[in-house]
């Protein structure tokens, strides 16, 4: 049988869009959807966003985030659910010294190349920034592979 950790990595790597929840300055929750780039050992998810978005402002005030990635095509109520959720600490990456992270994101999402131009990032001449969440806890929810106990807490590496 495939391990829960292997399934988690398969589902996260196979996904494209994650739902990200942040906390506003007054502690109110808010959610958004972002295209992401996953990495393991250490477990991090990176995404791009405009620095003037509400969730980007929220991360500067309170780095605690939660999120979810659905691992199945959605057809309708009653499907066998497979997906991943997580909690962690998010941050905006600095404008310089992140060439490798930029290259990895652009490799997965080539259309992001213009938004993540290294020279423009360093000069502050682009509204887009690269963000990352360091995962503190993963939860795999998989009714197909773990029908008796679908909620599996997975340690970070």
Contacts (Cβ under 8 Å, ≥6 apart) of 92: 51, 56, 59, 60, 129, 130, 131
Instruction: Assess if CATH 2.30.110.10 describes domain 4-147.
Output: yes
Average pLDDT over residues 64-71: 97
pLDDT higher than 80, residue 1: no
pLDDT tens for 10-27 read 999 999 999 999 999 888
Over residues 96-149, the pLDDT tens digits come to 899 999 999 999 999 999 898 888 888 888 899 999 999 999 999 999 999 999
Write the pLDDT tens digit of every residue in 28-55. Answer: 899 999 999 999 999 999 999 999 999 9
């Amino acid at each position: 049988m495939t391990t829960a950790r292997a399934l988690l990595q398969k589902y996260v790597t196979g996904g494209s869009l994650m739902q990200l929840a942040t906390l506003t300055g007054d502690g109110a929750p808010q959610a958004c959807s972002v295209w992401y780039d996953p990495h393991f050992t250490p477990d991090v998810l990176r995404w791009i966003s405009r620095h003037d978005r509400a969730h980007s402002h929220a991360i500067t005030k309170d780095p605690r985030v939660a999120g979810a990635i659905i691992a199945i095509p959605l057809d309708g109520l009653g499907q066998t659910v497979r997906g991943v959720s997580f909690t962690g600490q998010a941050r905006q990456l600095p404008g310089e010294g992140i060439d490798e992270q930029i290259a990895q994101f652009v490799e997965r999402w080539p259309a992001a190349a213009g938004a993540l131009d290294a020279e423009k990032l360093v000069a502050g001449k682009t509204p887009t920034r690269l963000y990352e969440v360091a995962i503190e806890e993963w939860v795999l929810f998989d009714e197909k592979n773990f029908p008796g106990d679908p909620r599996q807490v997975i340690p970070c590496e």
